[in-house]
A and B are shown apart, each in its own frame.
Chain A
């Protein structure tokens, strides 16, 4: 009997082993490993001058050195903790606040829903970069504050998606049947509505992780993020842009790492959603 069941339900591990999922997963794992234990990947300090300035990439310094002779590869690795933890905070803020608003709006309906969703509409109406800049100015500079600012810009997206999912599931027959078997509103919400509506929200969170890295880098590039000499990815690119003509590796190689990580989260997010459809 159990054999028949395993063949009918595709195992999530099989899906994970497809190259389309495996490669992004490896990229993300490496980036997270950089963030957690940068010392394992490089022995070079990110803030110490280790050689002549503006050296091209070589076997010794993979990404070359910058204007003060610091190893760029080491700075990228150490920067991962700044950028990725920042992105995680940003996504967490958006996910928790946004989903709570969305689920509350979708589950209650009526006036509460109207009020909450109009607030969300206001959030959506403000351009996200402008909004995050304003929040950073209110909270003060720094990686964490920049992350919170980026998170606030994604609240609206999470809230709208969560609400639309909850509204869709709320009218399904099994939810009514659950009320019919004596379920209380909270019990039904917890046992039926949330598990059946949150998969796309999780997929969106994975997607947002990528764009949060990008947005935090943007803030760093504009000088609203971590102050120098912190090796934050956006800041790295900003510092290198004065030398684009003579030392392209200062902007291109860190930029390439950012692109890879963002693409990886994008692919993974699609895999999560694809798994739902199958």
Chain B
């Protein structure tokens, strides 16, 4: 066999920090072959991005390669060892031999440079002087990544493009000099599922055409399963398992790989839930009728219609999911139910309360006892200056519930309900992991013993194993406490597991709603079909089914 395109052998990287050296990567070995995809899968903090950064020589300034080798089989100069290369040599390699597709299309493009200038930058750096030639190549590249009307787009600025478009622009910039190796660091994590699918398809096609090797860094095993030839699973800086994708997925040897497979909602059933039986004729707990929400956009402009004529009902003790892509109005709907918005028209009823009729701050406050909202970002929703005990106690103090001792008891009880150790109460949010923080946020919602909890993308920011734990927790709490959930998510795989009924929103309109089984198994609307088809991991599910 010929020498692979990229060989990483026993790579060790450490970071200098205020508390001594931290070994982020300990002995990682992998290979990328020309024209193939090697996927590096792991959770946050597993060291996968550090491997990517070492490969392109862009480690953070306190990072240091402590050992091992990275060899690139370059077409012009043969096998080159990338460890300890001078900055001058790196500049010659980056862009021409190795290109990077960064994670966040939102801030990876220079906001004051046109799209054309951003894509052409690599060409100019590598000595293209002829303006007309650069321009022609830029248009060719934009066309290649399937951007319509490249001539116009090249003159636009990043803020005029959607997230998916920007990611394509970044791919075009990476392809500019036809590099042999592309490193894609979570290229689609910030994108909607349908966009994710088109971007990944595009990468696949380009790779097949040009024979480029792709090192795909992802936290999503399902994405890796669909796209990769070889799979490397990392955790805590070490490789847990490596091998051809098909065999790793079919017969995982490492416990951690098995755990990842078992916790991926798009691949298996993560949550065991008893279907809730709703008595016929019982009045639903939540009723939304003809909800419409407009936002003013200043004088002389039409108001933005975020939600347009959405109606559904949620029976007591069940979960209703609202799904859609960014900008579909799902969060606006959820916030309206939790009385955090002023609906333009329509009615929302929760229990006996007419939510849209709550005008005074006092009425809204009283309503919060029965309805709580849990946010997406557990890092932003807890006050960094309060201890967990104070965070949890606050709702009780707000409503003057119980004496000091009673409240401490309630805090201990609710911590136990969300499976957190009682010592956590004395800690500050900074000392907790993302999953623990989200449990605290859930505990804060539960301490008032509400009837309805609205989850706004409450598991989207979490690693897959933590996400599975939280989903199981939510299912258990619902069964124990008889809670009703409104679950807002862009992730249809998660929704399928946890919800009883679902509304599909597209650009503010409800295109389909009904029981989850019915909507997911026999979708009527094209948009629902697209969303379902875009769930990654299709290849693996078919394998399992057959």
Contacts and interface: CB of A to CB of B under 8 A. Distances in A.
Nearest to A10: B18
Contacts of A174: 380-384
A264 B96 CA distance: 52
A8 B430 CA distance: 9
Contacts of A10: 18
A183 B385 contact: no
Nearest to B447: A181
B295 interface: no
Contacts of B381: 173-174, 177
22 contacts: A5-B427, A7-B19, A8-B431, A9-B430, A9-B431, A174-B382, A174-B383, A177-B373, A177-B381, A179-B368, A180-B372, A181-B368, A181-B395, A181-B448, A182-B368, A182-B448, A184-B365, A185-B361, A187-B398, A191-B394, A195-B383, A196-B383
A185 B362 CA distance: 11
Interface in B424-475: 427-428, 430-431, 441, 444, 448
A183 B394 CA distance: 8
Contacts of B384: 174, 196
B365 A182 contact: yes
A58 interface: no
A177 B458 CA distance: 14
B431 A196 contact: no
B369 interface: yes
B389 to A, nearest CB: 14
A233 B178 CA distance: 71
A183 B398 contact: yes
Interface residues of B, number: 31
A253 B373 CA distance: 63
Interface SS of chain A: helix, strand, loop or mixed?
helix
B219 to A, nearest CB: 23
A174 B380 CA distance: 6
Nearest to A172: B380
A173 B375 CA distance: 8
B240 interface: no
A114 interface: no
Contact of B399 (A8, A9, A179, A182): A182
A1 B19 CA distance: 17
A180 B338 contact: yes
Dominant SS at the B interface? loop
B308 to A, nearest CB: 25
Interface string A182-204: 11110100011001100000000
Interface in B465-510: none
A24 B272 CA distance: 63
Given A178-B394, A180-B372, A184-B398, A1 B423 contact: yes
Contacts of B380: 172-174
A176 interface: yes
B144 interface: no
Contact of A196 (B19, B385, B441): B385
Contact of A182 (B338, B383, B398, B441): B398
7 closest pairs, A vs B, by CB?
A181-B395, A182-B398, A173-B380, A173-B381, A174-B383, A182-B368, A177-B381
B448 A5 contact: no
B340 interface: yes
Which of A8, A9, A174 has the most B CB atoms < 10 Å from its CB? A174
Contacts of A7: 19
Contact of A178 (B369, B383, B448): B383
Contacts of A179: 368
B311 interface: no
